[in-house]
Structures are given as structure tokens and as C-alpha cells.
Amino acid sequence: MAKKDWFTAANALSISRLIFLPFLFLALYSGQRWLFFSLFLILGSTDYFDGLVATRLNQRTELGKTLDSFADLFFYLASAYFLYYLFPDVVHFNMTFLWIIIGLLLLSFLISTVKFGKPIMMHTGLLRLCAVLVFFLVVLSFFFDTRYFMTLILTVYLLGFLEVIAIFIIFGNVDRDTVSIYHLYREKSMCNTQN
């Protein structure tokens, strides 16, 4: 792959989320809550901007989708840890539900690995919504009791991972940026109508 194919602004934003993630841990462990808060806002926003830049600058590639998924996985797992470290009551309140969601995530990876030879992290509309909600969960937890907000987010994750599992089983290996199972059914219906 040539340098110009992978060295894009969108990919740089995704990679920055991984590179600068350790600085969040440093701020956290050094007790600098507001520095952590500021860095979290900046790094979390790269998840929005990498997709925007990729779309606007026509830089959408399979490598970019993989980098984004990889960065998302680490950033949002770290976010769960940050939430637990800073606001343990919010996590403890939702612990059983959280384990169910982690189990569904692992099940989706298992199904995609068995069916397609690799773990696939989808970017459906529900899972994108969850990423935004987790970002706001950490931010809002600095100011409010967010126990029930986390319950709401985990409910959306439940629906999102069940949708992904259904997509893998019913439709097979589809574009990771598929919006929803509804869109796949609609596309299939349109194709059948045209034939």
C-alpha cells in the first residue's frame, strides 16, 4: 500500500485516539481531574471528526474503517474503566447489565470470526449512537448522577449488538458502515424488485 493510500487526515485522527490515550491515564492517576476532562473532550471528539473528514475528503477506505474500529474499541473500553475509576457508583449500579453487554460484544466477535475468519466491529447507527452516548456519559458524570443514563445506554447497546448478530447471521459479511438491518432488508427488497 502506497504512503498516500493510508496516510490521510481521517486515519491520522483515528490513530491520534490511540497514541494519546495513555495521556488520559497519566492525568487520571496524577489526580488532575480537569486536565483529564479536557483531554477526554479532545480525544473523544476525534471519533466524530475522523468520520466527517473521511466523508468530506473522500478518504473512506477499508484501512480507515479498521483503524477507526480499533481506536474505538480501545477508547471506549478505556472510557468504561475511566467511568469505573472516577464514578464507581454509576458502574456498580449497572454491573450485571454491563456484563451482559460485554458478553454480547464478545459473541458478535466470535460469530464474525467463525463466519468470516476475523472479528468485525460494525458501525451501525445504534452503535454509533452508543459511542456518542458513552462520551457524554463520562462528561456528564462530572456534573450529575448518571446511573440511569448508563442504564439507557446499555439498553441501546443491547439492541445494537443484537442487531449486529442478526446481520451476521442473516446477511453475512456486509459493509461495516451499514446503517441498520432495516436498510439491508430494504436494499435486498429493491434488488429483488429490479430483478
Query: pLDDT tens for residues 145-162?
Result: 999 999 999 999 999 999
| Structure-block grid coordinates of residue 185 | 432488508
First to last CA, the chain: 37
Query: pLDDT tens for residues 16-45?
Result: 888 999 999 999 999 999 999 999 999 988
- Specify whether the CB–CB gap between 53 and 11 falls below 8 A: no
* Global model pTM greater than 0.85: no
Task: With a cut of 90, say whether residue 188 has pLDDT above it.
Answer: no
DSSP annotation string for 26-78: HHHHTT-HHHHHHHHHHHHHHHHHHHHHHHHTT---HHHHHHHHHHHHHHHHH
Query: pLDDT tens for residues 104-146?
Result: 999 999 999 999 999 988 989 999 899 889 999 999 999 999 9
Residue 6 pLDDT level (bands cut at 50, 70, 90): low
Task: With a cut of 60, say whether residue 1 has pLDDT above it.
Answer: no
Domains of the chain, by residue range, sit at: 1-86, 90-195
Residue 8: how many other CB atoms lie within 10 Å: 21
